[in-house]
C-alpha cells in the first residue's frame, strides 16, 4: 500500500527512509489521477523493492513547490535520498519506462494498460476556451518554455522570446484531452499553436514568418488588450458584488488545499459573513487575479474590493484578534 504524505516533514522522512521510491502527486478533482493510482498499484506489485507514496499536490503545497509540480498527475522518482527524475501527466508508458530505468533490478514487464476516460464534448470545449483566455498570449506546446520537448515548440519559444513577447504556455503532453481536443477546436492538426486575445494565430511556420517579417511583436501586443481588460472587469464585478470575498481552492464546504481550509476556519471562527470563489473552476480568473492583486498565491481575501492578504496574514490577524475588525465586523 502506498504511503500517504500529509506534510513536508513526512515527505522528507519518506525520501530518507526509502532508497528506491516513486511519489504520485495528485488532486481530488483530477480524474486521470485516479487512473494513474491503478498504475502505481500495479508497479508496486511488479517492483516490490520500490516504495510508493501519494501526496495531495494542493494540500501539501510546500512539497509541490519544491518539486516543481506544475500539473497533476505528477510522478517523482527518488533514489538514495535524492530526486532523479519526474514525469508530468497521465503517461503510463513514461512512468513505467522510468521505473525500469532507475530501478533495473526490478522485474521487467509490459507497460500496464491504463485507460483515462476522455472529457465530454461540451465540458472539454469550455475548458479549452478557459485555457485559451487564461492569458493574453498563450502557447500550446510540447513541454515548457524552459524545456521544450520538440524542435518546433523550441523555435516558437525562441521567436517569442526574441520579440520580447510575454506569454503563458500549456504543455499538451501532460493532458491528452487538451492535446486532441484543441486540434478540432482550432481546426489545426499540429503543435505548437499560438493564441492571442483568444484568437488562433497559427503554428510554427506562421509564427516564424511573422517573426521574420517583424510583425510578431505588434501582433502579440494586441494580447495586452481585450482578454486582460475583460478579465479585470470580471474581477472588479465580483469584488464589488460582495463586501467580503475569499478567492480559494475549492469551496467553503470542501476546500481543496490546506491553506484555503485554514482561512475558511479562521473566518468561520470569527463569524464573519463572506462569499467564496473557487479559482480552480476558472483558469482566466486564477491567472488574472495574480496580476490584478500583485499577489502570486491563493487563497486571497478581499474586503470592499481591497486585498487584505493571503493565508499567513489572515491567520496573524485572527491570532491577534483583529480579523473581525479588518472585515468591518468589530
pLDDT of residue 119: 54
CA distance 30 to 90: 10
pLDDT for 110: 47
The answer to whether residues 162 and 80 belong to one domain is: no
pLDDT at position 222: 61
Does the structure show a pLDDT above 80 at 230? Answer: no
> Which domain covers residue 199, as residue numbers?
121-224
235 and 204 in a common domain: no
Q: How many CA atoms lie within 13 A of 251 on its CB side?
A: 5
Residues 160 and 97 in one domain: no
Q: Detail the DSSP E strand segments found in 226-311.
A: 244-248, 275-278, 300-303, 306-309
Is the residue at 185 inside a domain?
A: yes
| CATH code of 317's domain | 3.40.30.10
Decide if 316 is inside a domain. yes
State pLDDT tens for residues 149-165.
899 999 999 999 999 98
Q: Of 224, 256, 277, which closes a domain? A: 224
In a domain, 204, yes or no: yes
pTM of the model: 0.50
Burial of 330 (0-12, 13-18, 19+ CB in 10 A): exposed
Residue 273 clears pLDDT 50, i.e. is over it: yes
Grid-cell match 501526496, residue found: 55
Check residues 308 and 1 and name the one with the higher pLDDT: 308
Nearest-5° angle of CA 128, CA 137, CA 206? 95
Q: Are residues 214 and 246 in the same domain?
A: no
Is 3's pLDDT higher than 70? yes
Q: Assess contact for 140 and 182: CB atoms under 8 A.
A: yes
Question: Active-site residues: which are they?
Answer: 30, 33
Position 72 scores a pLDDT of: 82
Clarify whether residues 129 and 219 are in a common domain: yes
| 318 located within any domain | yes
Domain boundary among 102, 131, 151: 102
Residue 107 falls inside a structural domain: no
Residue 65 has pLDDT above 60, yes or no: yes
Band (pLDDT 50/70/90 cuts) for residue 120 is: low
Q: Of the candidates 173, 194, 224, which is a domain's last residue?
A: 224
CA 32 to chain centre: 14
258 within a domain of the structure (yes/no): yes
Residue 111 has pLDDT above 50, yes or no: no
Beta bridge mates, 255 = 250
| Mean per-residue pLDDT, 42-49 | 84
Q: What integer pLDDT is reported at residue 109 of this predicted model?
A: 44
Number of domains in the chain: 3
CA 255 to chain centre: 16
Amino acid at each position: 500500500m502506498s504511503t500517504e504524505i500529509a506534510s513536508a516533514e513526512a515527505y522528507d522522512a519518506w525520501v530518507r527512509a526509502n532508497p528506491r521510491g516513486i511519489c504520485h502527486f495528485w488532486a481530488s478533482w483530477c480524474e486521470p489521477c485516479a487512473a494513474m493510482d491503478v498504475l502505481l498499484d500495479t508497479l508496486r506489485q511488479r517492483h516490490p523493492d520500490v516504495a510508493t507514496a501519494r501526496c495531495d499536490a494542493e494540500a501539501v503545497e510546500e512539497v509541490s513547490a519544491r518539486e516543481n509540480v506544475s500539473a497533476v498527475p505528477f510522478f517523482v522518482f527518488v533514489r538514495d535520498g535524492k530526486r532523479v527524475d519526474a514525469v508530468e501527466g497521465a503517461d503510463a508508458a513514461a512512468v513505467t519506462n522510468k521505473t525500469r530505468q532507475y530501478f533495473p533490478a526490478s522485474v521487467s514487464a509490459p507497460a500496464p494498460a491504463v485507460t483515462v476516460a476522455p472529457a465530454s464534448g461540451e465540458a472539454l470545449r469550455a475548458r479549452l476556451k478557459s485555457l485559451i483566455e487564461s492569458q493574453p498570449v498563450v502557447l500550446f506546446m510540447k513541454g515548457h518554455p524552459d524545456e521544450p520537448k520538440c524542435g518546433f515548440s523550441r523555435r516558437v519559444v525562441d521567436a517569442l522570446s526574441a520579440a520580447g513577447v510575454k506569454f503563458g504556455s500549456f504543455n499538451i503532453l501532460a493532458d491528452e484531452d487538451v492535446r486532441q481536443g484543441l486540434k478540432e477546436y482550432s481546426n489545426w492538426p499540429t503543435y505548437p499553436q499560438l493564441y492571442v486575445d483568444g484568437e488562433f494565430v497559427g503554428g510554427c511556420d506562421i509564427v516564424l514568418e511573422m517573426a521574420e517579417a517583424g510583425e510578431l511583436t505588434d501582433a502579440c501586443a494586441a494580447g495586452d488588450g481585450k482578454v486582460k481588460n475583460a478579465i479585470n472587469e470580471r474581477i472588479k464585478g465580483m469584488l464589488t458584488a460582495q463586501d467580503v470575498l475569499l478567492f480559494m481552492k475549492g469551496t467553503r464546504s470542501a476546500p481543496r488545499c490546506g491553506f484555503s481550509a485554514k482561512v475558511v476556519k479562521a473566518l468561520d471562527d470569527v463569524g464573519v459573513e463572506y462569499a467564496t470563489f473557487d479559482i480552480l473552476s476558472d483558469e482566466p480568473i486564477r491567472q488574472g487575479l495574480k496580476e490584478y492583486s500583485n499577489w502570486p498565491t491563493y487563497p486571497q481575501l478581499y474586503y470592499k474590493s481591497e486585498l487584505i492578504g493571503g493565508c499567513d496574514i489572515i491567520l496573524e490577524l485572527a491570532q491577534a484578534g483583529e480579523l473581525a475588525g479588518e472585515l468591518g465586523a468589530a
